[in-house]
Structure 1
Amino acid sequence: MNDDGNLRAVRFGVRFPPAVSGKDVAEAVVLSERKGFDIAWIADSQLLWRDVFATMALAAVRTERIGLATAVTNFVSRHPSVVASAINTVNELAPGRVLLGVGTGDSSVKPLSMKPSTLAHLRDSIDMVRGLLRGRFHDYGQRSSKLRKPVGDVPVHIAASGPRTLGLAGEMADGVLTLAGISPEILASTRSAVQAGAERAGREIADLDFTVGAFCKITDDIERDASILKPICLHLATIGAQDFLRTAGIELPPPPTVPDVYPDMVHAEDWDLAVEHASRYVTDEMAVTFSRAFCLFGTVEEILGRIHRAIDLGATGFYLRHVGNYTLPLELIETFGDEIVPRVSGVPA
């Protein structure tokens, strides 16, 4: 429910990797606003893309309604006080439309040989950011400092897939962004982990946003198009997510490192090369199974069916991704904006 006690409508968001000029990303965000999307999630990885907060600022001054979110930033490569100042700047440009998506760190952290945040560090960092945005002093060693002229609170969503991080989201976040796909079995277990965290903190899970992430493509030929998902499927095996894959009947042991793919399998600069290498481990049949169990790949009616099942399982929003890290999701915006969003818009979450 919202603050007035009314049912919330399901919200659709699109992930934008800022791999081109910030002006071009802002233009694409304008298009997504025009097509009825609710949130523009701007990806953050300092070695792969343009700066997330500068890009958000450009989008903020070009749009009027759409929400703007980090997807997602971290507190390892960015100090929490830096994050607080940056998100405060964007919130000043687009008051009430800004969301801070955070995580333990992935492609921003690993290429620097830095360790991702522990859950304790993530918790403390979120507390620090919230305090600074509320005008409070924070102790830094022998000094006590505050953020000058904060413009107000910003909702914090935690990106998570494992049970401990999902539980932390339930305990303290305003929302959770799930990264394990749209399989009903995974959604049920994911929501259960979030609910357990909420109950530990004396909270109601209904008060949290529950945003489901999925790779998307409208197609009437899954067998032809599912192969582009092979690197993503292999990546899950690489990070130890065999249990997720097993729920769909995919048995995929952890593969060896593939050094030919830079910077890694899921962020590959050459996606065709990544597909070629992933095909040594992921069969065509596995890719099709993966697309149907975890993704929004298929015909319009098939995709709508999966979306409504996810809503029935508690989803309040969707984080839609195209396959690609260095192009803008223009096809996704056009096709989902025309064929999917109007048919779900206004449905209560």
Structure 2
Amino acid sequence: MTIPLRFGYKASAEQFGPSQLVDYAVLAEEMGFDSVFVSDHFQPWMHEGGHAPAALPLLGAMGAQTSRVLLGTSVLTPTFRYHPAVIAQAFATLGVMFPGRVILGVGTGEALNEVTLGLDWPDPPERFQRLKESIALMEALWSGERVTYEGTYYSVTDATVYDRPEQKVPIYIGAAGPAATRLAGRVADGFITTSGKDPALYADKLLPALREGLEKSERAADAIDTLMEVKVSYHPDRDTALEKTRFWAPLALTPEEKMGIHDPIEMQRRAAELPIERAASRFIVSTDPDEHVESISRYLDLGFRHLVFHDPGHDQEEFLRMYGAEILPRLRARFGG
């Protein structure tokens, strides 16, 4: 199987309201992007100027206003705020409404989204096991007529998802470490990770773990989609391109610096202490379209086949028009897709 090369748009639900995001999805399709992915947060990273629209109705609205782009979550956590059976039902419905266009991207979650609701926030090993079990349950509900499932964390009795698409909704697993990446290789239809980290993480840890998972399940090397969420800040003015990253400074905090934080006000306070150079450290920041293409090509050379571009600025229409007109054609001329 040959995985097609795709270029997508990250519609940042932490930064924009639902009507804006739907408009951006429509424009992304118009400008030639292949996919639109939305995050699923109960709370945003930043209190001032932050947003957190619910991903499920948002995907429905995007699907109704577009006709071609793939639509997915990057990522949703089907283990705490949601029972996995509810997510199985919701994405089956989306799959019926928009056949072949819906992707369920899942991950182990953030304290920011769960602790505020009074939910227990276990250590990473349990969060991983919950994710693994939730995927097994959702797959069972999508394939069985009457499902009784008794797991360690979830169970259903005589459950049926009545409205299911003819084509199963693909599940992509978001991962930043080897264990979840290995799981993606074993059971998922796609693997999601994010850019701007130590190159050795991708080359020496994540991609080898993905291959291990594929080999363990006797799957081909190209059996699943490989999605990189690429953080870019492109603008003709260098200072503007740099300053645009300020809203997303929380991404530059280390795991230790944001461990267990569930209050956007506290997250914002810690991010505000970072110098602009560190705030921008996760992003490709450049005024030169060819420099963007060269920097992006590193991820394609590693083997990623689906690049979803996340711009941190408040003027997303400007970004979509500039990137659609100046960057995507250069990438397609060089790499195809």
TM-score by length of 2: 0.81
Give the counterpart letter for 2:293 in structure 1.
Answer: L
In the alignment, which residue of structure 2 is the partner of 1:340? 327
Moved more, 227-236 or 302-311: 227-236
Q: How much does 1:174 deviate?
A: 0.8
In the alignment, which residue of structure 2 is the partner of 1:10? 6
In the alignment, which residue of structure 2 is the partner of 1:199? 215
How many residues are matched? 315
Tell me if 1:147 matches 2:161: yes
With over 3 angstroms needed to count, the CA separation of the structure-2 counterparts of 1:67 and 1:234, relative to structure 1, is closer
In the alignment, which residue of structure 2 is the partner of 1:297? 285
Q: How much does 1:224 deviate?
A: 6.4
Distance 1:192 1:204 in 2: 14
In structure 1, the residue corresponding to 2:113 is in which secondary structure? coil
Distance 1:228 1:13 in 2: 17
The partner residue of 1:80 within 78, 84, 88 is 84
In the alignment, which residue of structure 1 is the partner of 2:307? 318
Structure 1: unaligned runs, 5 residues or longer: 241-253
For residues 156-186 of structure 1, what are the alpha-carbon distances to aligned partners after superposition, in whole Å with 9 as ceiling and x for unaligned? 1111101111111111111111125365433
Q: How much does 1:38 deviate?
A: 1.0
Distance 1:55 1:184 in 2: 34
Q: How much does 1:114 deviate?
A: 3.1
Alignment of 1:31-180 (within 5 A): 31-48=27-44, 49-74=52-77, 75-106=79-110, 107-112=112-117, 113-115=119-121, 118-140=127-149, 143-152=157-166, 153-180=168-195
Distance 1:334 1:111 in 2: 37
Distance 1:309 1:71 in 2: 21
Q: How much does 1:15 deviate?
A: 3.0
Distance 1:191 1:45 in 2: 27
Q: How much does 1:216 deviate?
A: 1.2
In structure 1, the residue corresponding to 2:264 is in which secondary structure? coil
Contact 2:247–2:312, Cα closer than 8 Å, also in 1: no
Give the counterpart letter for 2:292 in structure 1.
Answer: I
Q: How much does 1:99 deviate?
A: 0.2
Q: How much does 1:225 deviate?
A: 4.2
In the alignment, which residue of structure 1 is the partner of 2:229? 213
Alignment of 1:143-292 (within 5 A): 143-152=157-166, 153-181=168-196, 184-189=199-204, 190-219=206-235, 222=238, 225-226=241-242, 229=245, 235-240=251-256, 254=257, 262-265=264-267, 268=268, 276-279=272-275, 284=277, 286=278, 290=281
Distance 1:162 1:339 in 2: 33
Structure 2: unaligned runs, 5 residues or longer: 45-51, 150-154
In structure 1, the residue corresponding to 2:222 is in which secondary structure? helix
In the alignment, which residue of structure 2 is the partner of 1:250? none
In structure 2, the residue corresponding to 1:118 is in which secondary structure? helix
Give the superposed CA RMSD.
3.0
For residues 183-241 of structure 1, what are the alpha-carbon distances to aligned partners after superposition, in whole Å with 9 as ceiling and x for unaligned? 5433313212211222222222311111112221114565664365478666555314x
In structure 2, the residue corresponding to 1:215 is in which secondary structure? strand
Give the counterpart letter for 1:313 in structure 2.
Answer: L
Distance 2:173 2:240 in 1: 34
Distance 1:12 1:329 in 2: 14
Give the counterpart letter for 2:329 in structure 1.
Answer: P
Distance 2:8 2:250 in 1: 27
With over 3 angstroms needed to count, the CA separation of the structure-2 counterparts of 1:68 and 1:307, relative to structure 1, is same
Distance 2:86 2:173 in 1: 18
Moved more, 331-340 or 12-21: 12-21
